[in-house]
Amino acid sequence: MKFLKFEKVKDGKYLKNYEITYLNKAGKEKKYEIVSRRELATIDDVGGAPSGVSIVATMGDKMLLLHEFRMGVNRFVYNLCAGMLEENETIEECIRRELFEETGLQVKTIQKILPPSYAAVAISDTTTYIAFAEVDGLLDDHTSDNEQIEARFYTKSEIRQLLETEPFSSRAQIAAYFFSHE
């Protein structure tokens, strides 16, 4: 692939839309659209710094799942606790803040933080960390008025049932499957 042109076509509040003009392997000029959460100046900026975290949270032998309404799919889905890094915030601070904001829970132990991975490779350069944490406390809603989230802990058998009947985000579906089948 040979890149010919890179330009911003829309500057939204949370997402920026870009168009990449390139020559494909047959030498034909093509255009590709992507979105990013970050300001990108050149094609070399695509795929840069991580923007957030998804948290696989457990308490004892149960896993935390959020049942939340997502505008992008116009329905409730099961998801992991997740959120965006704030300016100058460490990943550990982000994990603690997002967990508390969405559930009222506290981090007991961060067991593992995986290196950043791409969240939606077909349309975005967004990368996020996946964190595994043991959590503690009582569930309490600290979400904004713009979020509709119900947080709950599920047993392995409850999760196996949900996986057969309910819509999930792909990251939550994978984590829930492996948690419930370990």
pTM of the complete model? 0.90
Q: Round to whole Å and give the CA distance between 120 and 130.
A: 14
**Could you read off the pLDDT of 105-164 as tens digits, one per residue?**
999 999 999 999 998 889 999 999 999 999 999 999 888 888 899 999 999 999 999 999
Which CATH number applies to 52-180? 3.90.79.10
Q: In this structure, what token pair is assigned to residue 110?
A: 């961060």
- Residue 87: CB atoms within 10 Å: 4
| DSSP-based three-state secondary structure for 91 | helix
pLDDT bin (cut points 50, 70, 90) of residue 170 is very high
